[in-house]
Amino acid sequence: MEEFLSKLIGRRIDVYCGGGASLRGEALKVDGGILYLKDDEEQLCYVVVEKIVVVWEARENEHRAGFFAGRLK
DSSP string covering the chain, please?
-HHHHHTTTTSEEEEE-STT-EEEEEEEEEETTEEEEE-TTS-EEEEEGGG--EEEEPPTT---S---SS---
Range of the domain at 40: 2-57
pTM exceeds 0.75 for this model: yes
At 15-70, the pLDDT tens digits run 999 888 889 999 999 999 999 999 888 899 999 999 999 999 988 755 444 444 55
> Does residue 37 lie within any of the structural domains?
yes
Determine the pLDDT at residue 47: 95
Determine the pLDDT at residue 21: 82
Domain count, the chain: 1
> Does residue 63 lie within any of the structural domains?
no
> Does residue 73 lie within any of the structural domains?
no
Query: In angstroms, rounded to a whole number, what is the distance separating the alpha carbons of residues 50 and 63?
Result: 30
- CATH (domain of 25): 2.30.30.100
> Does residue 62 lie within any of the structural domains?
no
> Does residue 8 lie within any of the structural domains?
yes
CA distance from start to end of the chain: 50
> Does residue 35 lie within any of the structural domains?
yes
